[in-house]
Structure 1
Amino acid sequence: MKSSAARFCLQACVWGAVLCSPPAQAYLGGFEEQDGYRVPLNGDILSAGYAGDAQFYLNNNPANGYTGVVPWSAYPNNFSDGTNGPDVTRYNAGQFGTSSGGPGGSPVDIPDNSGLWKVLAGGRLNEDADAPYYYGSQWARDSIVAYRNTMPHAGSQTLNLMAMDQSLSYRYSLDSRDLGGIDPAITLGAQIQMSFWVKPTDWDDPDTGGNILGLSLLDAANQPMFEIGYTADNLLQYRLTGGAWQTTAYQMGSAGYSEISVTLDTLANTASLNINAYNDNSSLLGGDTSVLSHQALGVVSGALTGLQWDLRGGSLDNGAVSYIHSFDDFSFNVSNLTPVPEPGSAVLLVMAVALMHVSRHRKRA
């Protein structure tokens, strides 16, 4: 366990770094246009000609002027079904729009994976495997995109995950815009409540392979501090660092959205988990139910700086098929934040810690 002095010094260093480098602005929100997410109904994104751009997706023609446009053979596609946006790692997803103090602006092409969304495995990387040509089947649509949903939780768009051909893994870096103006790097001693709405699919229900989707809360080293997920049969799961998935009795319907709330206490090193599960039989949302309350994480937690989605795809068992999982309306609340030092004293404190380190090094020498 870290000593209070060590934690204090670490916080001081983090504060110094934060004060010296202003944060960027990005946002999850409800994945609407004003949140910084684009679907083709609002216009395609002109390619800036970066290496790796999916220009070949437009009629397999590498000379076209758009990026992130899927081919005719993919389902759904931008031509017969103009509801899929480009993969979120291809453009400045979440970094334009006006929600939550956003800067405005519009979607632009960026070098793949250079924004706050990054694909680690599968997804867009699988779709790009045969570039500059596309040999996918009708069902091949591996990506995470903003989607013009006919049944969103709110607004008109959702975040859709699809891993038809193989499993995918995507990471999102949280930002001060997500946390109401608080930089994620300073959440080392705080309570962070995250809630979101999710609508899983029933296409994968015959699968018996355990966890089908996991959402990890990451620290600055991209290590998971706590994970939420569910089985193919939509049973809520959670996992502590280094442990196995724990399956609960709470089942989420696929005809409506269920709300999941997590409270991460990075000072007490605990997590709490609540659910409002949608019931397909009654077509009603259940009441708020506590699944975990102040569960010890078993590790010293760091600042909450990112999220990671892992969705199992490819060949599922018993004839099951991986299909669309929809997320909507993320919200965060940070409380009990460690008091902010004055800018001048924070810089002096960081300098003092550095001088102490140098002094000790000299004495040892």
Structure 2
Amino acid sequence: MKKTVPRFNLLACLFGALVCSPDAEAYLGGFEEQDGYRIPLNGQIASGAFAGDAQFYFSNNPVGGFTGVVPWGAYPNNFSDGTNGPDVTRYNAGQFGTNNGGPGGAAADIADNTGLWQALSGGRLNEDANAPYYYGSQFARDSIVAYRNTMPHGGSQTLNLQASDQNLSYLYSLDSRDLGGIDPASTTAALIQMSFWVKPSDWDDPDTGNLFGLSLMDAANKPVFEVGYTGDNWLEYRLNGGAWQLTPYQMGSAGYSEITVMLNTADNTAGLAVNAYNDNSSLLSGNVDVLTNQGLGVASGALTGLQWDLRGGSLDNGAVSYIHSFDDFNFAVTPVPEPGCPVLLLVAAGLWCWPRRRR
């Protein structure tokens, strides 16, 4: 017997596919001023002198008093460095700007770790340990900052991770602006595509172990899927906190590679693709599927955050920890349909082939 789909359900599914499948770029976005990321070239951020907020002496001299501005990067007492923004946990990073329906406004000091970004270990926490004095250098930072990059993937700024002295771990809480107006807590049954561009460091190439990991976190603050790479830039992934799985895809360090993750929170599967930059040809190798419909082994729940983990300090085989640059995050979210919604099924099935936005 031929089964018909009620017209109401079909139209409802079509409407849902149209309004709930955004290609969003904001809050993370391209880490531009309009995305909510400030660097000194765009003006200083006045310190609010919040209780517990680390402050540093200007020029490391108590006579000069405190800097009076939110310390940026890991060199908080040098006003001559206009390329590194403040650590993203020190100000309202990602919470101002106009891109993707942003509220506008301006960069402002907040109590550390009270915004979308939190330092869990290392990074700013390491730099703050000796406040109000600072014992680092302009080129040895422990932080995550927006950076005025001369070779970005798009725009003029990138997100730079550096763990000069020790490992760092930061948590970013996704916002509805990331997902085109969809509340992250409502993504318990959705197809979520996340893509971003990365240029790894070549200073750490002698270290062949896992160096960087980006974990997709659920509402229970547990990782449901992790993607990363080794010191010599081989793409890796990890399931359910197990061992890192090495792939045969190596990303160059002279240009940006695109990584795409597809998470299905309804059937607890994930996909992974890479468009790797080839240092020899100076070209992208083309998009390749690494995983499709890979079982996660856990109930994923809603996607609510991203955890950034970077090894630092003394690396293996004499490798030197240095800067890793990220740019142009994009998200697309499609709710997984209830039975009887064939149009939305087609939309969901085609989401993996959704054209990636290029700047």
* Partner SS for 1:255: coil
* Partner SS for 2:253: coil
TM-score by length of 1: 0.82
CA deviations on 1:315-360 (whole Å, 9 max, x unpaired) are 1122111100000000100013467xxxxxxxxxxxxxxxxxxxxx
Within-5 A mapping of 1:250-329: 250-329=249-328
How has the CA–CA distance of structure 1 residues 57 and 160 changed in structure 2, closer, same or farther, with 3 Å as cutoff? farther
Within-5 A mapping of 1:109-258: 109-137=109-137, 139-208=139-208, 210-258=209-257
Structure 1 contact 58–66 (Cα < 8 Å) conserved: no
How has the CA–CA distance of structure 1 residues 309 and 69 changed in structure 2, closer, same or farther, with 3 Å as cutoff? closer
What is the aligned partner in structure 2 of residue 359 from structure 1?
none
Which stretch shifts more, 107-116 or 314-323? 314-323
Alignment of 1:45 with 2:48, yes or no, is no
Structure 2 contact 55–131 (Cα < 8 Å) conserved: no
Q: Gaps spanning 5+ residues in structure 2: where?
A: 1-25, 339-359
How has the CA–CA distance of structure 1 residues 149 and 292 changed in structure 2, closer, same or farther, with 3 Å as cutoff? same
Higher RCO by CA contacts (8 Å cutoff, separation 6 or greater): 2
CA deviations on 1:260-298 (whole Å, 9 max, x unpaired) are 000000001100000000000000011110000000001
Instruction: Please give the alpha-carbon distance, in whole angstroms, between the structure 2 residues aligned to 1:70 and 1:30.
Output: 18
Structure 1 contact 122–142 (Cα < 8 Å) conserved: yes
CA offset at residue 70 of structure 1?
Answer: 5.6
CA offset at residue 139 of structure 1?
Answer: 3.8
Count of matched residue pairs: 310
TM-score by length of 2: 0.83
Answer 1 or 2: which has greater helix percent.
Answer: 1
What is the aligned partner in structure 1 of residue 83 from structure 2?
83
CA offset at residue 252 of structure 1?
Answer: 0.4
Within-5 A mapping of 1:89-104: 89-104=89-104
CA deviations on 1:171-230 (whole Å, 9 max, x unpaired) are 00001000000000000000000000000001001113x110000000011100000000
Instruction: Please give the alpha-carbon distance, in whole angstroms, between the structure 1 residues aligned to 2:72 and 2:236.
Output: 35
Instruction: Please give the alpha-carbon distance, in whole angstroms, between the structure 2 residues aligned to 1:176 and 1:87.
Output: 23
Match of 1:111, as an amino acid?
A: A
How has the CA–CA distance of structure 1 residues 229 and 317 changed in structure 2, closer, same or farther, with 3 Å as cutoff? same
What is the aligned partner in structure 2 of residue 3 from structure 1?
none
Match of 2:237, as an amino acid?
A: Y
